[in-house]
Amino acid sequence: MPTKVLVTGGAGFIGSHTCVELLQHGYEVVVADDLSNSSPRALERAAGIARVGTPELCVIDIRDGAALSQVFADHRIDAVIHFAAKKAVGESVRLPIEYYDTNVGGTTALLSVMREHEVGRLVFSSSCSVYGSTTKVPLTESDPVSPTNPYASSKWMCEQILADTCRRLPSLQVLSLRYFNPVGAHPSGLLGENPHGVPGNLMPYVARVAAGQLERLSIFGDDYPTPDGTGVRDYVHVMDVAEGHRLALEHLQGERGMRTFNLGTGVGSSVLDLVAAFEAASGRRVPYRITGRRPGDVATLVADPTAVSRAWNWTTKRDLAAMCRDAWHFQTRDPARHAC
Spell out the alpha helix ranges (H) of 251-319.
Answer: 271-282, 306-312
Give the max Cα distance, the chain: 55
Contacts for 94 with CB less than 8 Å, ≥ 6 apart: none
CA dihedral 129, 80, 340, 270 (to 10 degrees): 20
Give 147-210 as a DSSP string: --SHHHHHHHHHHHHHHHHHHH-TT-EEEEEEE-EEE-B-TTSSSB---SSS-SSHHHHHHHHH
Instruction: Please confirm, yes or no, whether 151 is among the known catalytic residues.
Output: yes
Catalytic one of 151, 179, 205, 224:
151
Q: How far apart are CA 73 and CA 65, in angstroms?
A: 12
Tell me how far apart the alpha carbons of residues 268 and 264 are, in angstroms, rounded to a whole number. Answer: 10
3-state secondary structure of 290: strand
Which positions are catalytic? 151
